[in-house]
Chain A
Amino acid sequence: MSAAVTPAPPGSGGALLEASGVSIRFGGLKALTDFNLSVRQGDLLGLIGPNGAGKSTAFNVLTGVYQPTEGEVRVAGQRVNGWVPHQINHLGLARTFQNIRLFRALTALDNVKVACRAQGALHPVVMGPLAKAGTAMRNYRDWWRALLLTPGFQAEERELTRQAERLLEVMGLSHRRDEEAKNLPYGEQRRLEIARALGTRPKVLLLDEPAAGMNTREKADLMVLIRRLRDEFSLGVLVIEHDMKLVMGICERITVLDHGETIARGAPAEVRSDRKVIEAYLGDSYLESHGGAA
């Protein structure tokens, strides 16, 4: 059940996630204009900007929650315009949410197991009609295996549990294994979300304000953790963050958005001294909004 996802076709320049010229409009409102981005394995990129700059919108376009009005998104070399989120996820893109969206009534372990299991099925969109029918049949066959509790199914369940337990361990959540997600403290909920995202075996991990609501110490730990995850799981990581310090501390390259437009990109040092960035942050209501956020 854990068949590998489509490998990236060679020649795509190694970009696991690529957005080129992406724009999105809600009615008359331009939420994102000509957004370009490329994430390769081992990258640790930052996406920053004041509130309402379009950061989460960018995430939502990349992950298929919204469809781009213009431009295209490629994941593992595959054009994914028109795909739904779970299909894109199957290509190796996983995310967390700004306002934690765990499966609240499920235990920590089950939260991760959901993600682990969901992998494996090739999605119909990349297949012909015959293969489509095959997948449909296999979907139902899977149910039979579960209903009859076949040995293979049981082994698979054990394997899922093992994988999930390992991820909990990596995120330091083993002691919360059987707790309902909603009963976890805030910081642990954030970590559980990351564990869950890792369960889908992503190539690229998108973290939406992972440090929101954490204190300085926790943030420092998080920075270490994110780096470690990138190396251990061979990921490309894209982080949305409000906390400049955090972003500057870990990200190798940064993209700055304001009013949906990319106003700067480059290494932390370059971005920090960019006039437009300073204006956007200080000239606008950065401090207020930051104070009121999270």
Chain B
Amino acid sequence: MRRLAPMLLAALAVLAAACEKKTQPTGEAGGAPSAQAPATAQGGGAPPAGDDVIVLGEVGALTGGQATFGISTRNGIALAVKEANAAGGVKGKKLVVRVYDDQSKPEEAAQAVTRLITQDKVVLILGEVASSSSLAMAEKAQAAGVPMITPSSTNPSVTEKGENIFRVCFIDPFQGFVMAKFARENLKLNKVAVLQDNKSAYSIGLTEVFRQKFAELGGKITATESYSQGDTDYRAQLTAIKKTQPEGIYVPGYYSEVGIIARQARELGLKVPLMGGDGWDSEKLFELGGSAIEGSYFSNHYSPDNPDERVKKFIADYKADNNGAVPDALAALGYDAARVAIEALKKAPDTSGPAVRAAIAQTKDFPGVAGNITLDAKRNAVKSAVVLKVQDGKSTYVTTISP
């Protein structure tokens, strides 16, 4: 029993740190580069809204079911901030990103974003990937008057939360539309089955629009099956789909499942092409899917083999920072979101909420790596989508489809 004392004292120290926090905030929780910008790495001295730094907030899933997406986004944002700081920061100040993990849960995202707003006094918030978490954050950010940019939440309702909420990606209905059009008009498919992720609002949203559009264009949906994120055995669904003899399968899920689905589909003798959305985009897809994923198509925000110099540089820099990992769409969108935010901070007369908000709203033809970004009146990015084909273990550009 006596052993408890030191233990609890340690716990006390931990909790006491929570109190110190406000008088001694630090700036390094995020992607602030230590090598390139040693000025920001002196650790723990500067107040959050102090004179020499501007603090941005980021909420992401660093653990839990969606961690892999949150981490990509974080890496993209970190790169953008590092570049901005190397170029002299904003208004003579260094940028610092404070990243909080939400464990892939919306209530944790709400808690984290509230902490960012209240305790860390961030000027702007970046995040989340999952629409549920973004919705939770949007509510809080809107109420507090702090602008928020979500890099990759594609559910339409997110930006409907209020005038402070923006996004730099297109929305679900558009992606569903893109793939339906591509399947019907480019691939000339007549019968398609759908396999959706029932645990993901994103997947359900895409499915809905795809089914509707594909039918409108004269196609036939043979079957709609579903799975849950985190599953690893899809043979039962695929066996049922196979019976309906489709010419293609629309699988608007995330790469972590799609890779495995592809393998199991091939194993069951389903040789038809798979189709999906931006959730596929990751080099992990090729690792997980192997040869089974070859010949599949997916819609995306950008194509890594875009010859554009900006894209090439982004890919090279990202690889250099992340042990050679090829940036996926989420990283690219994170990077773009951060750059849109930085640009707005530069343009805004001061870093107050309304000023920054107004500056973001004016974003027009901003050259992002994932396409040029123009924010419309509903604060959504108007962008075209690209369709990519999986070939030789990488994705190759096929076509661009505009809204």
A and B touch in the complex (CB under 8 A): no
B interface list, Cβ under 8 A from A: none
A interface list, Cβ under 8 A from B: none
